[in-house]
Structure 1
Amino acid sequence: MSDIIFHKIRQTPQHLLVMLILLSFVPFNSATCFAFGTSVDKFTPVMHPDTTLRPNFSLKDVNGQTITISALKGKVVFINFWATWCQPCVQEMPSIHALKQSFNGNDSIVFLTIDVDAALPKSTAYMDDKGFHLPVYAATSAVPMELYYHSIPTSTILGKDGAIVWHYEGGKDYTSPEIRKILTDLLAGK
């Protein structure tokens, strides 16, 4: 019986249109691939950064202190959007911590981990429990879609001029030479 039904569906000209409409509701990106078991090492950045964009938004930390992205102009900025319940986020956090530690003492680079749930006490407790020295923030204004569009983890690197230099959706090992080279080149003004 099911063979007959599926055979009839395949014979109708609307089947392709229906399938395309249904697939348009599935957000397919590297984070979706990760959820379906694809290796994170096979991912490449999901967009070619538009270096003319200089996104700005506001953040606050657990103590209520606020900063804006534009106030960080002149520094290289590494931004990671994450949540404590997100398994790929949790898996990549040790490598983000190690990356930040490798630049310890360099005031020309800033690391921002942004809890997409804005559950700052919970995310700060997570960082403390794990021994990660990463500042946690929550967005207090709209985040530009070029930086974050409802897929976590998502990371972005901004150059000293505030332009998007690198953007990636999905889990990643941030101790890779590729990331370190991007950051050191930006710090050197390349």
Structure 2
Amino acid sequence: MLIFLITLLVSPQVKGFFIQGLMKIGLFQPDVPKQSEETASTSEALVEENSEVILFKNEAGEMVNLADLKGKVVFINFWATWCPPCIAEMPSINKLQQQFKDNKNVVFLMVDVDNNLEKSMKFMKSKKFDLKVFTPASQIPPNYLGGSIPTTLLINKKGEIVFKHEGGADYTNTEFATYLDKMSKE
């Protein structure tokens, strides 16, 4: 037991695996905005649009301007390979991306905040995840990424942030997938 606790404290992989187990039993669920009359004002309060140019670079060195993705729903996850909650939620994000891979209205951006594409690509390959990795190529506004990772955003087709979750979450949650699907059809 002592060896497990010590390993849990020093190994991001083991800690991520442990958190992933907690996700599977129902903890760490994303707080999906409700679209009822009662919560309409709350949802509207979350909607933020950014006028700054936000760029990401992919493994081929190509730049992706977030403004060019207007008209699509953009799922952005800010993460790092050393972050246990990031490691824990990655399988659920991979499953979600697989579920929406044929939906041309949904784009997934996995943004490595360490700016180390080689390391993050190696991580994705070792875990057999089919997620495209990007690095920031411009300043990331504080309303997108504060001080904690993982941070996940959903940006609607108008370019507005309509969902923000800081910390690990299980994105295989049916309610979240339904919300994303609804947004892609609006």
- Aligned match of 1:50: 46
SS state of the match for residue 151, structure 1? coil
CA RMSD of aligned residues (A): 2.2
Can you give the 5+ residue segments of structure 2 that lack an aligned partner in the other structure? 1-18, 33-41
- Aligned match of 2:28: 41
| Offset at residue 52 of structure 1 (A) | 4.0
> Is 1:91 aligned to residue 93 of structure 2?
no
Alpha-carbon distance change, 177 to 42 in structure 1, aligned in 2, over 3 angstroms = closer
What's the TM-score, normalizing by structure 2? 0.75
Greater alpha carbon shift after TM alignment, 98-107 vs 49-58: 49-58
- Aligned match of 2:104: 107
Residues 76 and 160, structure 1, Cα contact 8 Å, conserved in 2 = yes
- Aligned match of 2:128: 131
Q: Which amino acid aligns with 2:138?
A: S
Identity of aligned residues (%): 39
Q: Which has the larger radius of gyration?
A: 1
Q: Which amino acid aligns with 1:88?
A: P
What's the TM-score, normalizing by structure 1? 0.74
- Aligned match of 1:12: none
Can you give the 5+ residue segments of structure 1 that lack an aligned partner in the other structure? 1-33
Deviations 1:12-48 (A, max 9, x none): xxxxxxxxxxxxxxxxxxxxxx9xx9x9537747x96
Between the aligned partners of 2:147 and 2:107, the Cα distance in structure 1 is 23
> Is 1:116 aligned to residue 103 of structure 2?
no
| Offset at residue 179 of structure 1 (A) | 1.3
Between the aligned partners of 2:28 and 2:152, the Cα distance in structure 1 is 15
| Offset at residue 64 of structure 1 (A) | 0.7
Deviations 1:115-149 (A, max 9, x none): 00001000011111111111100101111111101
Alpha-carbon distance change, 42 to 183 in structure 1, aligned in 2, over 3 angstroms = closer
Residues 40 and 171, structure 1, Cα contact 8 Å, conserved in 2 = no
SS state of the match for residue 41, structure 1? coil
